[in-house]
Structure 1
């Protein structure tokens, strides 16, 4: 399929999924690397309570909170650079 035909199909909100080769698709920056972190018992207990309340695993709540904090830090850095 030519690019202009693909673009037209996309612009017309037609289904393009069958026209894509998804066999080698990768999400950038999603490679995983295992790390070990030691937490005090009170912190593990708090993490477990929150994870149970939300209905996710301890690992998931840690990942979400770390991602939120890192995004917040990146936004703060960007804000300070524009001043």
Structure 2
């Protein structure tokens, strides 16, 4: 979607602060989250650990990978 008009950063801030939809003014294809660069890590677990992870992931309705990420992030905080 293209922006209807050009606006200033102050106008954009005000719209955002007021809860208005600013998506027409944002190029989401260039959006980045700082410190969110992904790096692949391989970890080997015994079968009983994987089975437990799968049980808990099903219970929470998430994937095994999401569960592991959540738990590690919680522990690191």
TM-score (norm 1): 0.65
Distance in 2 (CA, whole Å) between partners of 1:68 and 1:27 is 19
Q: Deviations over 1:25-83 (max 9, x none)?
A: 10112221111101122211111110111111111110110011111xxxxxxxxxxxx
Please identify which structure carries the higher helix content: 1
Count of residue correspondences: 71
The runs of 5 or more residues in structure 1 that have no matched partner are: 72-83
TM-score (ref. length: structure 2)? 0.69
Runs of 4+ in 1 over 2 A off after TM superposition: 1-17, 19-23
Computed over aligned residues only, the root mean square deviation of the Cα atoms, in angstroms, reads 2.1
* Whole-angstrom CA distance in 1 between matches of 2:63 and 2:13: 42
Larger radius of gyration: 1
Q: Find the partner of 1:44 among 45, 50, 54.
A: 50
Q: Which runs of 5+ in 2 are unaligned?
A: 1-6
Q: Return the structure number with greater relative CO, CA threshold 8 A, min gap 6.
A: 2
Helix, strand or coil: the match of 1:23? helix
